[in-house]
Amino acid sequence: MKIAVIGSGYVGLVAAACFAELGHTVICVDNDPEKIAVLHRGETLIHEQYLPELLARHRGQRVIFSGDLSEAVRASSVIVIAVGTPPLETGDADLSYVETVARDIARSLNSYKVVIEKSTVPVYTSEWIRRVMQLASATAADFDVVSNPEFLREGTAVTDFLYPDRIVVGADSDRAAEVLRQMYAPLTTGSYYQQAGAIPEPAGAQRPARLIVTTAKSAELIKHASNAFLALKISFINAVANVCEAVNADVEQVALGMGTDSRIGRRFLQAGIGYGGSCFPKDVAAFRSVARECGYDFPILQEIIRVNDEQRRRFLKKVRTALWTLRGKRLAVLGLAYKGGTDDIRESPAIDIIRSLLSEQCSVVAYDPAAMERALQVITGDLTFAEDPYQAAVGADALLILTDWEEFASLDLARIKGLLRYPIVIDGRNLYSREVMQKHGLLYVSVGRATVELESSQASALNLNK
């Protein structure tokens, strides 16, 4: 098929590369000439595993980049809208970019097209896209609008696309649904997985992919409801962690006991400093706003947000407790991205915590494998960057772990202890066992578990005011 993907952000660029990998011809459109120039030079804009390989494989052949939306629409049979829908102050999704694109698509139609909304949008968006396009002179027979939500996790977006749990197609016409069946056929028939050079299968993948056809409204709700439920699991285990701290239980053991129940599952039961990123905060707020607009308050969504915000404040309290005072302290921070495997710092708990530390007159030396350049653009204050975790630790009063990068879970702890001014590690991601930290003689503070205290001889030598 010939597919136009409008938008070259996380969703658009990954979708364009993956559709090309499935054998389609793709025009990826963006109205930012600088982005298009970067993509033409062979750069990728975002940090995603396998994305550079796919773009190198298909650039200039099955994938081309363009700033001309009208030309891309005329040359394609399927138009994928993958533009941003940032949150407004009210929590509603800003659909102005979607509206603008829908209007431009309508003015460029030269034959029947299937318009796919892949941006995360509230229910009724497909109806509004259809209405906008008709107001902009398109006739109903010239197009169909389909909701095809993405379920991509940053850092594993390519494998999530090619080895999906499910493909949801919200179509109100059989003709449009059949177009999407054909578009995803390499995944639903399993033919893609047989071809040479296919992206490696991740652990636990189910293939061939399952395609679920629903109405457009149901598909739009599936996306928001899915992300809200996952955010609920994170906030729930964090609330459990707070109870564990109060009664001296271990949240890791509690999560294991819960997660082995097949009705609950282990995923998203990792206690820590809360969720962030471009999806969960925005989608929970947008879902709450949609529910209120429809006449239902949906109070549990507000509680998800409250618990998530509280986790950051509780972590700062842990830092203060471990160090007594913060003013003048030098802190080593590992992690800036909202999660490991990505350079995305949007709504990152790490960024929020660093800003709070800087406001209390700390100096921060930070390291992140991918997100330091982005963080430099949004944080001001006494912040410097290190070349690796060990350089960050030199002379620091404590080491803070704020992002769950794999490399942070395998540090040379003896070396870390020797570099720190005080042997204090405050782990917001529970990357280490208490036994390991005790063995290395570190004062170890984590989430939902008892603090590993220093031996009396070490504790007496620890003077945080010297």
Q: Which residues belong to the active site?
A: 279
Count CA atoms within 13 Å of residue 190 on its CB side: 4
Order of strands, edge to edge, in the sheet holding 398-401?
A: 383-385, 363-367, 330-334, 398-401, 424-427, 443-445
Order of strands, edge to edge, in the sheet holding 25-29?
A: 63-66, 25-29, 2-6, 78-81, 113-117, 143-147, 167-171, 211-214
Task: Estimate to the nearest angstrom the gap between the alpha carbon of 432 and the chain centroid.
Answer: 23
| Count of Cβ atoms closer than 10 Å to residue 455 Cβ | 9
Q: What Cα–Cα distance (Å) separates residue 281 from each residue in 133, 230, 333, 399?
A: 30, 11, 23, 27
Q: Is the dihedral of CA 215, 29, 342, 84 positive or negative?
A: negative
Residue located via tokens 């030098």: 330
Structure tokens at 160: 């999530």
Coil, strand, or helix at residue 65?
strand
Q: Residue 98 — left, alpha, or beta (φ > 0 → left; ψ -120 to 50 → alpha)? A: alpha
Q: Which residues contact 380 (CB under 8 A, 6 or more apart)?
A: none
Strands (E), 289-419: 330-334, 363-367, 383-385, 398-401
4, 75 contact by CB (below 8 A)? yes
